[in-house]
Amino acid sequence: MLYLVETILYVSIMIALIIVYKIKKFNWAKIGMLVASIIFVLAIAITFVVEKPIVQTKDNISYEVGVNEKLDQVIVKYHFMDVSDKVKTEGEVNFNKVGNYKVKYIVPTILGNYTKEQTVEIVDTTAPIITLTGNETEEISYNQEYKEAGYTVTDNSNEDLQETVTVTKEEVSNTEYKLIYTVEDSSHNIGYAERTVKLIDKVAPTIKLKGGSTVYIKLNEKYTEQGATATDEIDGDLTDKIQTSGKADTSKSGSYTITYTVKDNSENEAKKTRTVVVYDGSKPSVNTNAGSEKGVIYLTFDDGPSSSITPKILDILKAKGVKATFFILNYSSTNEKLVKREFDEGHTIGIHGYSHEYKAIYQSVDTYMQNITKLQEKIKKTTGYTSIYTRFPGGSSNTVSRNYCKGIMTVLTKEVVARGFKYFDWNVSSGDAGGAKTSQDVYNNVTKGLKHNRANMVLMHDFSGNTKTLNALSDIIDYGLKNGYTFSSINSSTPMITHGVNN
Q: Which residues would be at the binding site for Zn ion (CB under 5 A)?
A: 302-303, 393
Minimum distance between the CB of residue 334 and Zn ion, rounded to whole angstroms?
Answer: 21
Query: 376 to each of 178, 252, 284, 323, how far by Cα in Å?
Result: 51, 17, 19, 21
- Which residue, among 93, 51, 96, 58, has the nearest Cα to 74 in the 3D structure? 58
Minimum distance between the CB of residue 302 and Zn ion, rounded to whole angstroms?
Answer: 4
**Number of Cβ within a 10 Å radius of residue 478:** 11
Distance in angstroms (rounded) separating the CA atoms of residues 299 and 314: 12
The letter for the amino acid at 86 is K
Output 217 or 329, the one with its CB closest to Zn ion. 329
Output 454 or 461, the one with its CB closest to Zn ion. 461
Output 241 or 356, the one with its CB closest to Zn ion. 356
Output 201 or 342, the one with its CB closest to Zn ion. 342
Minimum distance between the CB of residue 449 and Zn ion, rounded to whole angstroms?
Answer: 18
Output 253 or 413, the one with its CB closest to Zn ion. 413
Distance in angstroms (rounded) separating the CA atoms of residues 365 and 411: 8
Output 95 or 358, the one with its CB closest to Zn ion. 358
Minimum distance between the CB of residue 409 and Zn ion, rounded to whole angstroms?
Answer: 15
Three-state SS string across 207-272, please?
Answer: EEECCCCEEEEECCCCCCCCCEEEEECCCEECHHHCEEECCCCCCCCEEEEEEEEEECCCCCEEEE
* Nearest residue to Zn ion, by Cβ distance, number only: 302
Output 114 or 326, the one with its CB closest to Zn ion. 326
Minimum distance between the CB of residue 475 and Zn ion, rounded to whole angstroms?
Answer: 24
Minimum distance between the CB of residue 389 and Zn ion, rounded to whole angstroms?
Answer: 14
423: which residues sit within 8 A by CB, 6+ positions away? 389, 390, 391, 392, 396, 413, 416, 417, 496, 498
Minimum distance between the CB of residue 424 and Zn ion, rounded to whole angstroms?
Answer: 12
Output 199 or 409, the one with its CB closest to Zn ion. 409
Minimum distance between the CB of residue 490 and Zn ion, rounded to whole angstroms?
Answer: 16
Output 122 or 351, the one with its CB closest to Zn ion. 351
Output 155 or 302, the one with its CB closest to Zn ion. 302
Minimum distance between the CB of residue 427 and Zn ion, rounded to whole angstroms?
Answer: 17
The letter for the amino acid at 255 is S
Minimum distance between the CB of residue 463 and Zn ion, rounded to whole angstroms?
Answer: 8
Distance in angstroms (rounded) separating the CA atoms of residues 254 and 444: 40
Burial 333-372 (b: 16+ CB within 10 A, else e): eebeebbebbbeeebbbbbbbbbbeeeebbbeeebbbbbb
The letter for the amino acid at 91 is G
Distance in angstroms (rounded) separating the CA atoms of residues 165 and 184: 8
Distance in angstroms (rounded) separating the CA atoms of residues 461 and 389: 17
Contact 350, 328 (CB under 8 A): yes
DSSP 8-state code for residue 4: H
Minimum distance between the CB of residue 476 and Zn ion, rounded to whole angstroms?
Answer: 19
Apex CA 10: angle with CA 8 and CA 15, to 5°? Answer: 90
Output 183 or 328, the one with its CB closest to Zn ion. 328
- Which residue, among 464, 421, 427, has the nearest Cα to 445 in the 3D structure? 427
For helices 2-22 and 28-50, the axis angle rounded to 10 degrees is: 150
